[in-house]
Structure formats: C-alpha cells, structure tokens
Amino acid sequence: MKKICVLLALFSANVLSAEKNNNQEFNQLLDYYCGTESVEFQEQVTIGEGKQILFHQGPFMQVNTELSPDVIKRTFSNAMQQANLSSQCSEYLLSYAEVVEDNVEQKLFARVLFNFDQYSLTERSKYILQSVTEKLETQKDTVLLNGHTDNKGRENYNINLGLARSNSVKAFLLAQGASKEQLESYSFGEQQPIDDNTTLEGQHHNRRVDIEKKANETN
C-alpha cells in the first residue's frame, strides 16, 4: 500500500485559532481519506472555539476578541461542501460531526472497489473499512452496504455478485467488532452505474460497495 500523506488544514478569518472543545456545539471534525490508482491522501480539519486577532486597531498593536459562533459554523460548513469526495475519489471515507444549525447532509460516507468478477477485499479497502469500524463503534450509526457491479455478465449473476461484495464488507466489519444490528446488506447489481461501462476505467469504478447512513439517522 502506498504511503499516505496526512495533512492538517487550519482555517482563518483574520487569524483563527482552532482548539478542540468538549462543547458538542463547537467540537466539529471533518476527516476524510481519498484513494485513486495514482494517489492516496488523508486530511483532517478540526474547528473548535476560536479567537479573532485584529491587528492595528486604534492605539493597540493587536486586540483579541471572541470569534462569533456563526463564523465557526460557516467555516466548517464551507469545508464540508468543498470536500465533494464522491466526484474526486474512486475509493474514500468521509466523516464529520453535525453542524447544529447548518447541517450539510452526506448520506454516502465511504466507498470501496473490487477487481473484475471478485468479491474479496483489497488492502486499501481493508484500510478504509477499519476506519469505518471505528466510526461505528463511537457513533453507533446503522449503515447500508450497497453492492454494485459493472454490466458484464447476466443480470441475475450481477445481483448475486453485488450481494457477495456487500456481504464481504459486512463480514470484515463484523470481524473488526461492528455490531450485526448496525449493518444491512443489499445489492443493486448493474442497475446503478456511476461511470461509463463502455470503458475499463468506468467498469472499475462501478465494481463497488457504497456505505451509506440509514435514512433519518445522524453521525
């Protein structure tokens, strides 16, 4: 597996000092992993209570003021909107805490890919799923494991192959400690492609399991 580059991103409004805080309203975390055939990276953004440092205000060199909660929420909300991983990454993991008043819905939070006519997990898929397990342990989400295939082969065969892929993901998550009650396996076979099945790259992207939050549940 390629070495993963870990980046820590800090946002600023003039100068924003972000610290983690036990107050759930401000303890916001955006954490995501992106993997393609050529690159892998992981990024984390944490925004807590902040202070705004204003330079050259009147006779003083600087003045510290409390940063408005609305500014913190808006900054975090913008960061989530910019992390549109589903269009940038072939495999990914995305998780974040809820923004109290400006929640940005993200039902699909992880995706893993499979080789042609296979349902065994790759090493990169196992890395992503290990992080999914940790997320399930701490936040108790119920998730849908939706299996998909390319359009090669008969429709009934692909339905069964998609289910084998989702069950493979389920078995790994259970082995890592996830609760059986948190996991629901389904298959859509070839019915919901996300890329062009006339190309090898498109077929590769369509051979996947999408991991989604169940409706009416939050992180």
Q: What is the pLDDT of residue 170?
A: 98
Q: Out of 15-24, 27-36, 150-159, give the one with best mean pLDDT.
A: 150-159
CB 111 within 8 A of CB 209: yes
| 81 pLDDT higher than 70 | no
- Domain ranges in the chain are 45-104, 106-218
Q: Which of 46, 15, 6 is nearest to 30 (CA)?
A: 46
- CATH homologous superfamily of 106-218 equals OmpA-like domain (3.30.1330.60)
pLDDT digits 0-9 by tens, 130-160: 989 988 888 777 899 999 999 999 999 999 9
Q: Which of 210, 211, 86 is nearest to 148 (CA)?
A: 210
Q: What is the arithmetic mean of pLDDT over 103-122?
A: 84
3-state secondary structure of 2: coil
pLDDT digits 0-9 by tens, 194-204: 999 999 999 99
Q: What is the pTM of this model?
A: 0.72
CA distance 167 to 156: 17
| 53 pLDDT higher than 80 | no
